[in-house]
């Protein structure tokens, strides 16, 4: 008879398996919480905007999207040569800026028949569209506006139709164009014809769009453009009409405004002095419009008054 000898506890202990302890996983450290960037102080309207002797005025803070001043900003008014902002926008977006446009007689007739401003283009000259944009925006050539319209659309009226379609697409619902230069046309009774009008609000919105086009922004801050003579055209020298950028004979007493970036002048008897302007100071970017100012000089003085007031507003950190 077999007998089983109990295994002693000392023997069992020799074969016992000691469990390997499971390491406690270390928690993955969270990335450090970034120090929040404090909100940038913004220009804050305190008190009333300056009172100007104008038909309409509008001042806009491009940094915040805030309207700082709105005086009759929704009232349609004639816009004179600020019309050419849209003319330039269409031309720049039409495609080939190196296309050559031949200056026709109708461009010169526009100036001569309507007492318009001129880039002094010569009939038969063949000039690139890029160069004509300087003729359009610096000396405010009405002849350049007609030449551009003819060159892009074949005739002025077809080009104006494009201007109005694009204005609608930009939701400039209180803007309408009757020509590409902003001149006033008259009926047989020598009364001004309606049809070329806008508002301060619409003009600011259009200017915002235009200033995002690099070529447009570059042209409107240029003080003078020289086009050397070639086998295809005469030589030209086109100075700006914007006294905020440089001395201009239309307003010889106006001083250059530090930080001015453009944009476009305008004047007719019916529209009065008009100006779309932009300036930067201490990292702040303001844009504005004056319509119906008393004369060619006062439009700049009115703009300077608005800009100085806007840049002088107190800086406050917006509430979160």
Strands (DSSP E) along the chain, which ranges?
Answer: 42-43, 56-61, 66-71, 100-102, 126-128, 224-227, 236-239, 260-268, 272-281, 284-293, 315-316
Measured CA to CA, the distance from residue 320 to residue 305 in angstroms comes to 32
Q: Backbone phi, then psi, for 14, in 5-degree steps?
A: -75, -25
Neighbours of 64 (CB within 10 A): 15
Which residue among the candidates 117, 140, 178, 278 is catalytic per the annotation? Answer: 140
DSSP bridge pairs for 70 = 58
Kindly give the residue spans of alpha helices, DSSP state H, lying in 154-297: 156-169, 200-211, 214-220
Is residue 189 part of the annotated active site? The answer reads: no
| Dihedral (CA of 273, 133, 248, 115) sign | negative
Which residue among the candidates 81, 278, 293, 298 is catalytic per the annotation? Answer: 81
Which residue among the candidates 84, 117, 243, 264 is catalytic per the annotation? Answer: 84
The tokens describing 210, both together, are: 């235009």
Measured CA to CA, the distance from residue 199 to residue 104 in angstroms comes to 32
Is residue 140 part of the annotated active site? The answer reads: yes
Catalytic positions are 81, 84, 140
């Amino acid at each position: 008879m077999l007998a089983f000898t109990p295994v002693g506890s000392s023997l069992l202990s020799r074969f016992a398996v000691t469990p390997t302890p499971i390491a406690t996983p270390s928690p993955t450290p969270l990335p450090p919480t970034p120090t929040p960037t404090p909100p940038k102080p913004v220009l804050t309207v305190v008190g009333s905007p300056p009172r100007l002797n104008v038909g309409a005025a509008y001042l806009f803070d491009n940094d915040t999207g805030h309207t700082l001043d709105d005086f009759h900003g929704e009232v349609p008014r004639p816009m004179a040569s600020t019309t050419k902002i849209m003319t330039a926008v269409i031309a720049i977006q039409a495609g080939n800026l190196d296309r050559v446009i031949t200056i026709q007689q109708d461009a010169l007739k526009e100036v001569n028949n309507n007492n318009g401003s001129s880039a002094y283009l010569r009939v038969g000259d063949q000039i690139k569209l890029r160069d004509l944009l300087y003729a359009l925006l610096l000396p405010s050539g009405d002849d350049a506006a007609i030449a551009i319209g003819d060159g892009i659309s074949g005739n002025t009226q077809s080009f104006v139709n494009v201007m109005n379609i694009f204005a609608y697409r930009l939701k400039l619902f209180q803007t309408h164009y009757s020509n590409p230069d902003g001149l006033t046309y008259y009926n047989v009774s020598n009364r001004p014809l309606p049809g070329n009008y806008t508002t301060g609000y619409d003009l600011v919105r259009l200017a915002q769009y235009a200033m995002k086009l690099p070529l447009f922004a570059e042209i409107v801050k240029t003080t003078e453009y020289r086009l050397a003579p070639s086998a295809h055209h005469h030589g030209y020298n086109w100075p700006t009409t914007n006294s905020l950028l440089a001395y201009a004979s239309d307003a010889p007493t106006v001083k250059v405004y530090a930080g001015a970036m453009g944009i476009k002048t305008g004047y007719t008897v019916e529209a009065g002095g008009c100006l779309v302007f932009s300036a930067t100071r201490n990292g702040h970017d303001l844009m504005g419009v004056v319509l119906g100012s008393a004369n060619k000089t006062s439009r700049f003085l009115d703009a300077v008054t608005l800009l100085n007031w806007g840049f002088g507003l107190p800086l406050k950190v917006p509430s979160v």
